Copies of this chain bind each other. A is one copy, B any other.
């Protein structure tokens, strides 16, 4: 069956979004078609506003409506502790702990030779510049506990340590609330290695 052109074009556009397949895109397109025009307008306005009003912090690369971001501009934050993360959305994960009072540095990716991502593709120079400018006591490497995240952390550690700053890596181990039965061997090995005196 040939769908009306605007509808098949919408399905095509929706399929480009992450996590949305052919069936999902079709379902969304028919939802847009069926629902009030106001809903569609609000969605479009929100998309346009994000592209127009949200930018990246010139200091830490976090997303923000005003430059510098609330963290880099904030008096209440400890500018001597920088938490290095892969993507802007990782800021939320750390903030949810309500424990971290330092600032951030978003790498905008991880080292991934397989995907052609090298050191020059990440925001590493800015990080070295911030640390080199002094006043930084600790850099917490909070990249993902994946092969690529680990490699990136090790790479950064080698660059940062000569600058005389304390470089730490977030702990890896069994997640709180999980059943030990389902822990994989690599995680369990890390949990054993990282054991602490009680």
Question: A-side interface residues toward B, CB under 8 Å?
Answer: 1-7, 9-10, 12-14, 16-20, 24, 26-33, 37, 39-40, 42-44, 46-54, 63-65, 70, 87-89, 91-92, 95-96
Closest to A91 in B: B1
Q: How far is the CA of A77 from the CA of B53 in the complex (A)?
A: 51
Can you tell how many copies of this chain the complex includes? 2
The 9 closest A-B pairs by CB, nearest first: A1-B95, A4-B65, A10-B46, A6-B49, A44-B44, A13-B46, A13-B43, A6-B53, A6-B50
Closest to A95 in B: B1
For the A-B complex with A6-B54, A33-B88 known, give 9 more contacts whose Cβ atoms are closer than 8 Å: A1-B91, A3-B92, A6-B52, A12-B46, A18-B31, A19-B27, A32-B51, A33-B51, A40-B47
Residue in contact with A96 in the complex, picked from B1, B10, B47, CB distance below 8 Å: B1
19 contacts between A and B (CB under 8 A): A1-B95, A4-B63, A4-B64, A6-B52, A10-B46, A10-B47, A10-B49, A17-B43, A19-B24, A30-B87, A30-B88, A30-B89, A33-B51, A33-B88, A37-B51, A40-B50, A43-B47, A44-B44, A44-B48
Closest to A10 in B: B46
Closest to A93 in B: B1
Q: Which of A16, A33, A65, A91 has the most CB of B within 10 A?
A: A33
Q: How far is the CA of A50 from the CA of B17 in the complex (A)?
A: 18
Q: How far is the CA of A68 from the CA of B63 in the complex (A)?
A: 48
Judge whether A70 and B6 touch: CB under 8 Å. no
Contacts of A42 in B (CB 8 A): 13
Closest to A96 in B: B1
